[in-house]
Amino acid sequence: MSGAGEAAVEQTDVGSYFIANYPPFSVWKADAVSTDARPALSERPGAKGSGSRVEGEIPLGLYLHIPFCRKRCHFCYFRVYTDKNAREVEQYLDLLAREWDLYAATPAVQGRKFDFVYFGGGTPSFLSTKQLQGLVGRLNATGTWDAAEEITFECEPGTITEAKLAAIREMGVTRLSLGVENFDDRILELNGRAHRSPEVGRAYEAARNLNFPQINIDLIAGMLGETEHNWRECIDRTLALEPDSVTIYQMELPYNTTISGDLLKGGGQFNDAVAGWATKRRWVREAFDELERAGYHIGSAYTAVKNPSKTKFVYRDRLWEGADLLGLGVASFGHINGVHVQNLDQWPVYQAAIESGEIPLGRAYRPTDEERLIREFVLQLKRGSNRPAYFNQKYGVDVLSRFAGAIKSLRDDGYLAEASGDRIALTREGLMRVDVLLPRFFLPEHAGIRYT
């Protein structure tokens, strides 16, 4: 987000909205790879810059970026490829395995077990069963995720077969996430999605038959062409499937999407306007209300879970509490020993770095202790509430005092439900617009700059 404030975001304009990290990515620099990131990799975990008064092992996660898709969605802003042949896909998987070998030899990673693993994309299920099995076999040759509490795997419904799902289950995947987005074939086509509605039902039924511990369904509120009637049907069809969890994003238009490019050029390819933020917030609120009536519990601004006692999202929660993360693959993000990192974001230079025996980092940033505190505070607030005691114990900071001004502004605007020593909690309306509220907690130098 540009930092213009809530008054400027009722219309869905081009620009980032979703807050995924702090400080903003725009302050991460290539120079910091040599001054901060590589030194951090040469140190044992927690050697310096942890900003924490709490002793104990820092959890380690693994993110694997599989950047292949059958089609590029018009709202997609990730580094993905739709034109790679089988040989190139195999080449990329080899690079992923070699990148992991490079990380496994560093003091910061050597001997550590993964607490969580995430296969993201792109489309991880784009890979064939043989390719998946080969990649996992190579990764497990120098490391293991046997002790991982959660392994998430993202799927595009049209790329799923029963045999492939069985192989994914055998890999130890505990959380299968189906990128449904919408159940209407016209809207899927209009937004550039490759799958169609009948494939959703087949993929979901096959996954249920294989007893995945958790099946998540992704939806997007406010896709091109979406209507009140369509959104109502999406909620009804989701409830009929009874997934373990539901993730609902509000459609945004970062700068590098097809839709954004068309709008910035003044083109008319996409004549169906994206719904405004007020409509999207209302649609998500209505979905949450229906899910709650069906027995679900709201876990964050984007998620509802059927049974919180057994249905978790470990990847999200560990990252929002400062875990380390190895991000493998072109353009992937990570965090290691107190330093934010991102890989080189173009395939040729990413490949060249690995082939020269170098971890392919493109930019980095070492946050100060105060920035680490802010990062965890704002990300955890996206769950609807956070606990002041957590920050007092970990950072020795009274957040009620430290963020008194921002907390007061939330109360004055009607977005704060509670601010006590037990918890700081948003109202439901505050939760629906949490990403645009979070910059109130940013340092002044970060409040008005481009996020990405």
For 25-319, the fitting CATH number among 3.20.20.70, 2.60.120.260, 3.40.50.2000, 3.90.420.10 is 3.20.20.70
Does residue 248 carry a pLDDT above 90?
A: yes
Work out the average pLDDT over 83-106: 96
- 270 pLDDT tier (thresholds 50, 70, 90): low
At CA 403, angle to CA 297 and CA 429, rounded to 5? 35
Region 43-52: mean pLDDT is 67
Section 112-122 average pLDDT: 95
Identify the sign of the CA torsion 123, 59, 207, 246.
negative
DSSP state of 411: H
CATH of 1-23+369-452, one of 1.10.8.60, 1.10.540.10, 1.10.3720.10, 1.10.10.920: 1.10.10.920
Mean pLDDT, the chain, integer: 92
Local structure of residue 27 (DSSP, 8 states) = G
Average pLDDT over residues 323-339: 97
Q: What is the rounded CA–CA span in Å between residue 184 and residue 196?
A: 8
**Token pair of 228, please?**
């009140």
Cα separation of 165 and 155, whole Å? Answer: 10
Sign of the dihedral defined by the CA atoms of residues 64, 70, 74, 79, in that order: positive
Q: Which residues contact 8 (CB under 8 A, 6 or more apart)?
A: none
- 220 forms beta bridges with 249
Q: Which residue has the higher pLDDT, 344 or 259?
A: 344
Cβ-proximal residues to 66 (8 Å cutoff; 6+ apart), any chain: 119, 120, 121, 122, 123, 124, 126, 127, 329
pLDDT of residue 3 exceeding 70: no
Return d(Cα 440, Cα 409) in angstroms, integer: 8
What percentage of the chain reaches a pLDDT higher than 70?
Answer: 94
Domain residue limits, the chain: 1-23+369-452, 25-319
Residue 2: the pLDDT is 36
pLDDT of 55 > 60? The answer is: no
**Based on the number of CB atoms within 10 Å of its own CB, is 62 exposed (0-12), middle (13-18) or buried (19 or more)?**
buried
The pLDDT value given to residue 178 = 98
Query: What tokens does 149 get?
Result: 């509490």
pTM of the model: 0.94
Whole-number pLDDT of residue 4: 38
**If you average pLDDT over residues 255-281, what whole number do you get?**
80
pLDDT at 196 over 90: yes
